[in-house]
Structure 1
Amino acid sequence: MSTASEPMLPADVAQPTGFLHALLTMSLTAVAVLQPRYKTDQPDIQDFDWVYLNAAGQQMLRQPERPAASLLTLFPTAQADGVFTKCCRAYETSELQRHQTNYQADGLDGYFQLVAQRYENVLIVNFTDTNDQPRSAVEQALRESQAREQEASTRQRGQLRRDVLKVFQQAPLAVLVMRGPTHIVDYINDHAHKLIEGQQVLGQPLGEALPDLQAQGFVALLDQVYQSGETQHGEEVLLLSTQPDGQPPRPYYFTFTYQAYEEEGQRAGVALFATEVSAQVAARLVTEAGAKRLRLLTDALPVLIGYVDQERRYQFTNEAYRAWFHQAPADLLGRHVWDVVGEKAYATAAGYIDRALAGERVSFEATMHYRPDFSRHIRTDFIPDMQNETVKGFYSLVTDVTEQVEARRQVEALNQELLARNQAIEASNLKLTQANADLDTFIYSASHDLRMPVANIEGLISALRQELLDEPVIKRDVEHILTMMDTAVTRFQATIGHITDIVHQQNSNQGRQLLDLAALVEDVRLDLAPLLAEAQAELLVDVTSCPTLHSSPKDVRSIVFNLLSNALKYRSASRPARVQLWATCEASWLELRVQDNGLGLTPEQQSKLFGLFTRLHDHVEGSGVGLYSIKRLVENRGGSIGVESTLDVGSTFRVRLPL
């Protein structure tokens, strides 16, 4: 026990000599000199240490001249008997105190009378035992009766103590019973003995036997319990156990109870009941660390993750709940689902919750009206928590799909609008198709019907020539006019032919076949040989990347012939004509490119180039139907045609046809 620094003893007490020594030695009454013991920072006397015990006292108490153990250590019943209280009062007040007691405990059995008086910083106690004095018959009988009662009570208490200690011995927790204000260890069970690794503590103050308890405040708490009588509890309290050889302290965790106990109506000591929970604390810390990592993970997800128990109360909610319900996740714990999500939303989810708590995994989508100003469309999964074939609750995963649902609804609305437009376009296309068919029929009929009048005109001109030529006077004047009329009729017939060809192309659907592109181009070259010779033009051909292909020979020949002949006809007089033809095949497409260094076109001319009856140059004969017919042919086959041209530099035509 911690004590204040001990003051110096009076000289005549520390070493009695002469007359005083002889008097103390010869005295037939016992004389004891005691020095009070205090606890650090506490004014109350905790115990008394022995300074001196004379010969008579040594005989009565069966102790040496200066016992090593304190007063309450040797005679703990002195506190309950009142001896200790009288001694404290005598020292603290400096007043003479008297006390009589029939002391039958701690190895003594006698009727004692004592007086106590303070002398400087020690207490002088004079006492005598009346056992050796003659007693009357009545006193003797009474004493014998008291002795028998005392013996019976002692045996009863001893049996009860043995029963209690037997229970303590079998208990799965540490039990220590301490006596007196210095907490002398009176009992320790095997479980406690193992916890302190076999250290000897019986008969010693707990703080002295186990210094770690003293240093870490456990003994101070014992003092408080002993003085107040109030029970104290500790949950998972850390105790650092000092290790040998300078090793770091070893941590232990205990859950304990300090309980004061009394004997014969007086407080006698404190009992300690303790359970080591180090393993449980370690497991809990691991679980809490895992839970912390889980929260860090779930808080980072844009999904509402929760756990609901069988009472439909939240036991876990992640950070995403804060944005929806404007409350910290911790504030939602223990609250009913209805209280958190609101009446309407709960009514929507209640049936699914019933199924989840019955053990069924549930997935659903619903529009949840949480508040009048807040609704969400959610995709939800309820996953039952099965433990030992019992549903303890369920995990809830809620994904906000409001934007996706609204986007899907917008797409559906747009699809409906697009369908309506497509139907309108389809109806318009049907009308256009009918109009084109009617136009083709009209053109065909018109070209057919015009052939006969033109043929009649041609016959009349021929007859007129025969008649007029017989008249020599007018031959020179008429010949030129007749030639012009013949030319006009020929051109008119050619135009009617071109119009007829356009209709034929529109209605033609010649089957595809494997064709030799190089041979086809060579055949076109032969047809254009007179024009090539007249223009003194150079024609370069490269079709090596697709020498053969599946397509309509008539369509490809018409395109190649038309583009090459135009390149030769619209050549520039300022430079030798040069025409190039390339053919490439990519995936399912044929691309033809015809490039020349001819007259070229302005942007405005390019915009008009493919119009029907469009002629941009008058110095070359033509009907303005060729490129129009090629464009219709290409587009009818699912292809495209385009031109890139620069005035007085040349032009490049590109045609793409599906294979």
Structure 2
Amino acid sequence: MKENDGMFKELVENSDDILIVTDEDFKIRYISSSVTRAFGIEPMKLLGQNIFNFINAEKTGNWKRCLKDPAQVSFHDEISLNAGNDKRNYFDVEVSNFLNKASIHGLVLKLHDISSKKLKEEALIRSNQQLDQVIYKTTHDLKAPLMSAMGLVNIAEKAAPSEKDKYLRLIRKSLVRLDSFIEEMNDFFRNEKLALQREKINIATLLNDELGDLRSLYEPSKIDVQFEIHGNSEFYSDGIRLRTVVANLLSNAIKYYDPDKIEPFVKISVYINEEICEIRFEDNGIGIEPQYQEKIFDLFFRATDHAQGTGLGLFIVKDTIEKLKGVIVVNSTVGQGSTFTIQLPNQIHQPIEVG
């Protein structure tokens, strides 16, 4: 019998599930050592505490009512517990009512960790919600410039020869807007679907290429765009995704410049070492209102009508940086300008995670 008891205890202690036994007053009398692996807490520190100190208050009343019902032998529920560092663990809980059993005279709870499953479910819900928004926004924003171009074509066909050039310029403007939106949608889906890559990146070449692509957005005589690179370390990351980030932040800095400033500028400062690559985009543009600075990375959010945009750009930027395990910080003052600083891990010594 003792041998069987020892075997059972060993099975319980080595299980990833957390087993808890309480008395009739719901105070913890036993808790398996798996609680240490899950939360870093020694079992002895939890003995004597009321189990409902750890359960959401909304569930407490229902648990007590069910467990005092003689017909209610056991039931399942789902709870979340704080694991520290703003992390929550999710558990499927099997609660057995042993209040009338002399050998236990309390409750037996078995907590099975379902955090991975729960996080995947939440990610899927967010993904579906975003997809719904994207589909709606896409159909709306693709239609507007297309209808505009078609209307201008009809007008141009009937216009005098001397006016055709004017309408062709307007048609081109609508098509450029359409092309820009399609490119943002490509960035959005590419970031979601493509596996992460690891490659050597020449930051100077990347910045020069992007500046060349953006020449149609600004006149060099009106906006002074410069960049400087510090550090001799090579830099490895995902080239396609980094190009997406740079293109969006650079085009935003240019689009939202302040035409009333005597010397509008965009300065890009790059600092590279073997640990990180920091890229800072500084401008003296129109700036961002304080109440919008937390929202500018939300899907389809636009803080101003100063320039045309879809509200996808900064969402893509943050999402891309997070996939690269980096961070982005914004500091902005209305009327003075904005600074966007990104830090990305340098993958020079190890391959980037794929998936």
Contact 2:327–2:342 (Cα < 8 Å) also in 1: yes
TM superposition shift of 1:552: 1.0
Change (3 A) 1:546 1:407: farther
Q: TM-score normalized by structure 2?
A: 0.55
Which residue of the partner structure matches residue 642 of structure 1?
329
Residue 220 of structure 2 aligns to a residue whose secondary structure is helix
| 2:247 alignment partner, one of 561, 571, 575 | 561
Work out whether 1:421 is the aligned partner of 2:90.
yes
Q: Which amino acid aligns with 2:128?
A: D
| 1:653 alignment partner, one of 325, 340, 350 | 340
- Written as runs of structure 1 = structure 2, the 5 A alignment for 1:202-601 is 406-407=44-45, 417=81, 418=83, 421=90, 423=113, 425-439=115-129, 457=147, 461=151, 464-465=154-155, 468-469=158-159, 491=177, 494-529=180-215, 531=218, 533-541=220-228, 543-572=229-258, 573-585=260-272, 588-601=275-288
TM superposition shift of 1:516: 1.9
Change (3 A) 1:410 1:653: farther
Q: Which amino acid aligns with 1:639?
A: G
Deviations 1:422-455 (A, max 9, x none): 6465444222332344356656766887899779
Any gaps of 5 or more consecutive residues in structure 2? 1-41, 55-79, 92-112, 347-355
Contact 1:495–1:623 (Cα < 8 Å) also in 2: yes
Change (3 A) 1:506 1:644: same
Residue 571 of structure 1 aligns to a residue whose secondary structure is coil
Q: TM-score normalized by structure 1?
A: 0.32
Contact 1:546–1:585 (Cα < 8 Å) also in 2: yes
Contact 2:142–2:181 (Cα < 8 Å) also in 1: no
Q: Which has more radius of gyration?
A: 1
Contact 1:590–1:657 (Cα < 8 Å) also in 2: yes
TM superposition shift of 1:488: 5.6
TM superposition shift of 1:548: 2.0
Distance 1:450 1:564 in 2: 26
TM superposition shift of 1:556: 1.8
Q: Which amino acid aligns with 2:120?
A: L
TM superposition shift of 1:485: 8.1
Output the aligned Cα RMSD.
4.2
Distance 1:443 1:455 in 2: 19
Change (3 A) 1:431 1:520: same
Distance 2:131 2:43 in 1: 52
Distance 1:566 1:547 in 2: 28
Residue 617 of structure 1 aligns to a residue whose secondary structure is coil
Contact 1:537–1:568 (Cα < 8 Å) also in 2: no
Any gaps of 5 or more consecutive residues in structure 1? 1-403
Q: Which amino acid aligns with 1:513?
A: E
Change (3 A) 1:433 1:546: farther
Contact 1:571–1:577 (Cα < 8 Å) also in 2: yes
Residue 125 of structure 2 aligns to a residue whose secondary structure is helix
Say how many residue pairs are matched. 249
Distance 2:143 2:251 in 1: 31
Distance 1:656 1:604 in 2: 24
Contact 1:502–1:629 (Cα < 8 Å) also in 2: yes
Percent of aligned pairs with the same residue? Answer: 22
TM superposition shift of 1:545: 1.5
TM superposition shift of 1:563: 2.0
